[in-house]
Amino acid sequence: MNPHDTMSLAIPDLSQAAAPLAAALGCGLLIGIERERRKGDGPGRALAGLRTFALTCVTGAAAALTQVTGLVVAGAVFVAALGVVAYFRDRSDDPGVTTEVALLLTYLIGVLCAWSLPLAAGLAVGLTAMLAGRERLHGFARHWLRPAEVRDGIVLAALVLLALPLVPDRALWDNTLNPHVIVQLLALLLGVQAAAHLARRLLQARHAVTLSALASGFVSSTATIATLGLAVREGRSGARLMAGGALLSCVSTLLQLLLVAAAVQPAWLGHLVWPALGGSVMALAWGMWLVRGAPSEAAPAAVEQDERMFSLTGAAAVAALLAGIQVLVHALTLWLGEAGLIVGSLLGALADLHSALAAVFTSGPPAPISHQAVVGALAVHALSKSVTAALVGGRSYALWFLPGLWAHTALVMGLLAF
């Protein structure tokens, strides 16, 4: 093989090279436009602007197209060295290294253009958005976030990025007690609580009751119903407003049911998604009608703003309860067969619907007997909420709350029958 043959193998023809090079030019220009606006003028201007970023990205693509690994590495070292020299020559009061790091990443985006255009384009857009949002990001991190929220964010990140990949993904007893699934569910619960908490802070002036009820419903809808009912009994809030919040917490119950199914047994999602979404829409509409029609009043103490994004203890208790009821239902199933599955799910639904149904999901894909267990658990759980509302909140609270509770529960049960 002569050298000309080697070169023809190493470098693609023009039609193959045009798309990566054009994409690299576009990515470099996109990032460079943002940097040019911040570059400044005169001797003290920043390291790179529009042309430098565009050329750097195209250089990365050209190096990758040669398929010579040493050339790609040499290009990265050269760009990094430029950044180091520029940093030490910077005489400004706040030098920073954002532009230098962005330039190196732009070179790597150019390299990626030769391997995966969608990934390279996504990185270019994300980098540009991050650079353009400098003031807002700094304000968010320094002023908007509270210390407790930062700590909770670190805990959630550690759970998702460190603990979850290290937990073994195998069941300890038949198909139950999978540590990975339990930790995954815990991370989902915390993530949903954190998202709801941040949304509540953004909209707290107009929707304190609504968003607080939705957020707390992801921890325990029954506990939320009892807490709001207690506010009515003690005269701290009106029955209609609190009944609307209680009904909105049932929306969280149904949405969390989909999360549990996705984490434990994805085969159930196709059977649950439309019933759960249908019931959620009805509960949401009914609850919002109650909230909007209630007399204006300040947000009650039951739903006041909290600095914590989530309750780690509460979410861990829910995950532990889920695992315990799974063991109970599995043991009853081994002992009594199919009848044990139904008995266990009904007993578990008295304490927690998600734990009871998670045990049903882990028993296997959807089957007639497991469908009966799901419908029965929904009915028992609605009955448990009804008793809680009547005993804690009183007659007026229950009369506002129970029609919406049983209407959306009947809709979910009816859709499951099809």
Q: What is the pLDDT of residue 183?
A: 80
Q: Give phi and psi for 179, each to the nearest 5.
A: -60, -40
Does 211 share its domain with 68? no
pLDDT of residue 285: 94
**Percent of the chain topping pLDDT 90:** 17
User: For residue 111, what pLDDT is reported?
Assistant: 93
- Is pLDDT of 93 > 70? no
User: Higher-confidence residue: 94 or 379?
Assistant: 379
Model pLDDT, residue 6: 41
**CA torsion, ordered 18, 24, 25, 28, to nearest 10 deg:** 180
User: pTM score > 0.75 for this model?
Assistant: no
- Most confidently modeled range among 44-48, 93-97, 187-191, 373-377: 373-377
**283 or 206, which is more confident:** 283
Give 32-41's long-range contacts (Cβ < 8 A, gap of 24+). Answer: 34/128, 34/131, 34/132, 35/99, 35/102, 35/131, 38/131
Give dist(CA 377, CA 300) in Å, integer. Answer: 32
| Domain final position from 140, 164, 181 | 140
Q: What is the pLDDT of residue 304?
A: 44
Look-up of token digits 């044990």: 340
> If you average pLDDT over residues 171-200, what whole number do you get?
68
DSSP 301: G
- Please tell me the predicted confidence (pLDDT) of residue 36: 83
CA distance 229 to 218: 18
Same domain? For 175 and 312 the reply is yes
Question: What percent of the chain stands above pLDDT 70?
Answer: 67
- Residues 135 and 156 both lie in one domain: no
Phi, psi of 309, rounded to the nearest 5 degrees: -75, -30
Q: Please, are residues 66 and 11 in contact by the beta-carbon 8 Å criterion?
A: yes
pLDDT at 23 over 80: yes
Buried b (16+ CB within 10 A) or exposed e, 35-57: bbeebeeeeeebbbbbebbbbbb
Give the residue among 108, 105, 117, 107 at the shortest CA–CA distance from 16: 117
Q: How far apart are CA 27 and CA 109, in angstroms?
A: 8
Span 105-161, pLDDT tens digits: 999 999 999 988 889 999 999 999 888 887 777 776 776 677 777 788 788 888 888
Least confident of 100-104, 157-161, 250-254: 157-161
* Predicted confidence band of residue 302 (pLDDT cuts 50, 70, 90): very low
E-assigned strands of 237-284? none
Assigned token pair, 378 = 């929904």
- Kindly write down the DSSP assignment for every residue of 39-78, as one continuous string: H-SSTT--S--HHHHHHHHHHHHHHHHTT-HHHHHHHHHH
Measured between alpha carbons, how far is 352 from 374 in angstroms, rounded to an integer? 13
Q: With contact defined as beta carbons under 8 Å apart, do 346 and 377 qualify? A: yes
Which residue in 306, 308, 279, 303 sits closest to 210, CA to CA?
303
97 shares its domain with 213: no
Q: What confidence tens digit (pLDDT) does each residue in 380-406 have?
A: 778 878 877 888 888 999 999 999 999
Q: Are residues 223 and 161 in the same domain?
A: yes
CA 120/CA 286 separation, integer angstroms: 46
Task: Give the pLDDT score at 205.
Answer: 37
Work out the average pLDDT over 277-289.
93
| pLDDT given at position 389 | 85
Are residues 228 and 133 located together in one domain of the fold?
Answer: no
Same domain, 37 and 156: no
Residue type present at position 43: P
pLDDT at 186: 75
Chain CA centroid to CA 64, Å: 35
The pLDDT of 11-26, averaged and rounded, is 80
Say how many domains are in the chain. Answer: 2
Q: Cβ of 293: how many Cβ atoms within 10 Å? A: 10
| Shared domain check, 163 and 36 | no
The reply to whether 166 and 102 lie within a common domain is no
Between residues 347 and 250, the one the model is more confident about:
250
Q: Is the pLDDT of residue 344 over 70?
A: no
Bridge partners (DSSP) listed for residue 173:
176
Hey, what are 260's tokens? 């549990």
The residue segments making up the domain with residue 334 are 147-417
pLDDT band at 2, cuts 50/70/90? very low
- Determine the pLDDT at residue 47: 66
Q: Report the mean per-residue pLDDT for the chain.
A: 76
Residue 323 has what pLDDT?
A: 65
* Arithmetic mean of pLDDT, 53-63: 92
**What's the pLDDT at 215?**
74
CB-based burial of residue 266 (10 Å sphere; 0-12 exposed, 13-18 middle, 19+ buried)?
Answer: exposed
Q: Are 265 and 316 part of one and the same domain?
A: yes
Last residue of a domain, one of 115, 140, 165: 140
d(CA 360, CA 333): 10
Highest mean pLDDT among 166-170, 191-195, 342-346, 389-393: 389-393
Same domain assignment for residues 268 and 338: yes
What pLDDT shows up at residue 95?
57
Q: Which of 140, 155, 185 is the last residue of a domain?
A: 140
pLDDT confidence tier of residue 338, bands split at 50, 70 and 90: low
pLDDT at residue number 328: 64
Whats the size of the chain, residue-wise?
418
Q: Please compute, for residue 302, the number of CA atoms within 13 A of its CA located in the half-sphere on the CB side.
A: 27
What average pLDDT does range 288-298 have in this prediction?
Answer: 76
Question: Is pLDDT at 312 greater than 50 in this prediction?
Answer: yes
Sign of the Cα torsion 356, 160, 315, 240 reads negative
| Residue 273, pLDDT above cutoff 80 | yes
Work out the angle between the directed axes of helices 50-65 and 14-39 (0-180°, nearest 10).
150
Q: Residue 113, class by beta-carbon neighbours within 10 Å (0-12 exposed, 13-18 middle, 19+ buried)?
A: buried
Helix-helix angle 98-113:117-132, to 10 degrees:
160
Higher pLDDT, 417 or 319: 417
The yes-or-no verdict on residue 187 having pLDDT over 90 is no
On whether both 112 and 194 belong to a single domain, the answer is no
Residue pLDDT, tens place only, 197-234: 666 566 543 466 677 777 777 766 776 787 778 778 87
